[in-house]
Amino acid sequence: MERPETRRPHSARVAPARRRGPSESLGALLPKLLEEVGLGPTAQALQVIHAWDEALGPELKGHCRPDGVRNGVIHARVRDSAWMQRVQLEKPRIFARLRAQLGEGAPSQLRLRIGPL
């Protein structure tokens, strides 16, 4: 005796299985994607901007903001001349932290200007 084929109602169909695995943040995925499509310098700039606050530390991060990275030089703004001097004095520590986060491809120069944050 053959059994008739039973079909699930439309609402009971099983969705295709989604890929399970470690999830990555958009901040981590975007540089990889940009590199794949040939926008490596843009990817590098995004990585620097993403790592900037941690490299500056809690005392400086509210007083200095990156504008971008061009030819291995970070261009950033500071609130005033006092903060410009302070960031200049901290450059060795800032670049050491950037190298620790980004590796040897980290920018090695910093150009500061005074302006609104």
Show the 3-state SS of 31-67: HHHHHHCCCHHHHHHHHHHHHHHHHHCCCCCCCEEEE
Residue 54: its pLDDT value, please? 93
Burial status of residue 68 (CB atoms within 10 A of its CB: 0-12, 13-18, 19 or more): middle
pLDDT at 39: 73
pLDDT at 110: 96
State which residues of the chain have pLDDT below 70: 1-21, 27, 31
pTM of the model as a whole: 0.66
pLDDT at 6 (0 to 100): 61
Check: CB of residue 87 under 8 Å from CB of residue 79.
no
The arrangement of secondary structure in 27-114, i.e. its CATH architecture, is 2-Layer Sandwich (3.30)
Cα dist from 79 to 25, 53, 109, whole Å: 30, 15, 19
Pairwise CA distance, residues 101 & 93, whole Å? 13
